[in-house]
Amino acid sequence: MLVLGIESSCDETAASLVEDGFTVRSSVISSQIAKHAQFGGVVPELAAREHLKNIAPVVESALREAGASLNDIDAVGVTNRPGLVPALLVGNAYAKGLAAARNIPIVGINHFLGHIYGAFLENKELLEDKNNFPILALVVSGGHTAIVKIPADGKASILGSTLDDAAGEALDKAAKALGLPYPGGPVIDRLSKEGNPAAFAFPRSLTGAAGKAVSPEHRFDFSFSGVKTSLLYALKGDESIVKTRLNDLAASFQEAVIDVLDMKSRDAAKAIGAKVVCLCGGVACNSRLREKIATSCQKRGRRFVCAPPKYCTDNAAMIGGLAWHYLKHGGNADVFGINARLESSLGTLPFAPLA
Ligand code: KG4
Ligand code: ZN
């Protein structure tokens, strides 16, 4: 079954053709980063206008790259939640029009679950074996930071999430404070390679001594506003350090964020007896984070899975792929039942495990 995936929840217009959930025949992404960079972040109305311009050419490119035509598409999967509603509306309207005109099924996909699925696009065998469950997913993007438990029945539950900024958002804001361009995550990643992560003692939020949780109810929650404030104070004391110690500042800030992600995901994996730890979302591109979580897993005998960067940041292959699983389980929605939504109801991840 050939599914057309469509993604427009933030500042990437993406389309992808995915066969039977795993074979990515094309994945086209048109990024608007340059348009939003001058504002230091994504402007929702501007994003919507850009999606409108890009959606048809992006779908056409995806078809061309796959050597397919509209007649070959069996179903459409579209991100319908959560995200910037004006941006989501464009992809949803396009997908609904296409599904109605071609009289094919359409499924609304949760972007957050799409990110988790992205890690399995090239790891099908992991989903085929019940013994690989429960899986623990650490979802780290510009909009989300959460620890998710995925048991063998696919009933995903959130064990913890951020109380304020997402990890990517914190990195982007820190970069802005350091005078670096948007999006700052990749720049901080690059600068950190030449910096000392122990140069500045930024706090490890919601953790006490030796990484122990501050309070049981926030055991797996995150907060990144404190570490951000701490960076601002460091700069306030002496602004010249941005010029003289930029690499150390970047490396120390990044390490403070990553340490908490590592500590909490490690504790959560232990608590649920996770067999596999999956790292996903845009921040999963971060080289230090990948290295740290991989090492933690290796030490504890857990399998570590992370998508290549092209399936970590926003893309439509993760959407088209996940849509196939819902369709296989009879979850195709009525075209008028799909609506762009701000909230993020999780529901069941139907991919776990493949029969
Ligand atoms: O998943 P994504 O493309 O969009 C959202 O759903 O939010 O994630 C974007 C986020 C941005 O905050 C960006 O700075 C961050 O991912 N990011 C990185 C890296 N590459 C992208 N953060 C740290 N290191 C990277 N290499
Ligand atoms: Zn995303």
Residue closest to 133 by CA, chosen among 343, 276, 34: 276
The closest-lying atom of ligand 1 relative to the alpha carbon of residue 314 is: 3
CA–CA dist 5, 79 (Å, integer): 8
Residue 186 CB less than 6 A away from ligand 1: yes
124: number of CA atoms within 13 Å, CB side?
10
Whole-number Å distance, alpha carbon 32 to ligand 2 midpoint, is: 14
- Residue ranges and CATH numbers for the domains of the chain are 2-117+312-337 (3.30.420.40), 130-306 (3.30.420.40)
CA distances from 269 to 195, 219, 238, 276, 295 (A): 30, 12, 40, 8, 14
Pairing of β 75-81 and β 106-110 = parallel
Tens digits of residue pLDDT in 223-270: 999 999 999 999 997 889 999 999 999 999 999 999 999 999 999 999
The closest-lying atom of ligand 1 relative to the alpha carbon of residue 168 is: 12
DSSP code of residue 133: -
* pLDDT at site 338: 75
Whole-number Å distance, alpha carbon 51 to ligand 2 midpoint, is: 15
End-to-end CA separation in angstroms for the chain: 17
DSSP string, 157-179: EEEEEBSS--HHHHHHHHHHHTT
The closest-lying atom of ligand 1 relative to the alpha carbon of residue 184 is: 14
CA–CA dist 352, 133 (Å, integer): 8
CA distances from 227 to 167, 182, 342 (A): 11, 19, 27
| Ligand 1 atom 23, closest CA | 185
- Local structure of 23: helix, strand or coil: strand
Residue 82 CB less than 6 A away from ligand 1: no
* pLDDT at site 190: 98
Whole-number Å distance, alpha carbon 342 to ligand 2 midpoint, is: 14
Q: What is the pLDDT along the chain (355 residues), one digit of tens a residue?
A: 999 999 999 989 999 999 999 999 999 999 988 888 888 778 999 999 999 999 999 999 999 999 999 999 999 999 999 899 999 999 999 999 999 999 999 999 999 999 999 999 999 999 999 999 999 999 999 988 999 999 998 888 999 999 999 999 999 999 999 999 989 999 999 999 999 999 999 999 877 666 566 778 889 999 999 999 999 999 997 889 999 999 999 999 999 999 999 999 999 999 999 999 999 999 999 999 999 999 999 999 999 999 999 999 999 999 999 999 999 887 656 666 677 777 666 767 777 666 5
Residues 6+ apart with CB under 8 A from 212: none
Token pair of 39 as six digits: 């504002």
Residue 143 CB less than 6 A away from ligand 1: yes
Residue 50 CB less than 6 A away from ligand 1: no
Q: Are 121 and 309 in contact (CB under 8 A)?
A: no
Residue 320 CB less than 6 A away from ligand 1: no
Whole-number Å distance, alpha carbon 9 to ligand 2 midpoint, is: 8
Cis peptide before 183 (omega within 30 of 0): yes
Question: Could you tell me where the beta strands, DSSP code E, fall in 115-269?
Answer: 135-140, 145-150, 157-161
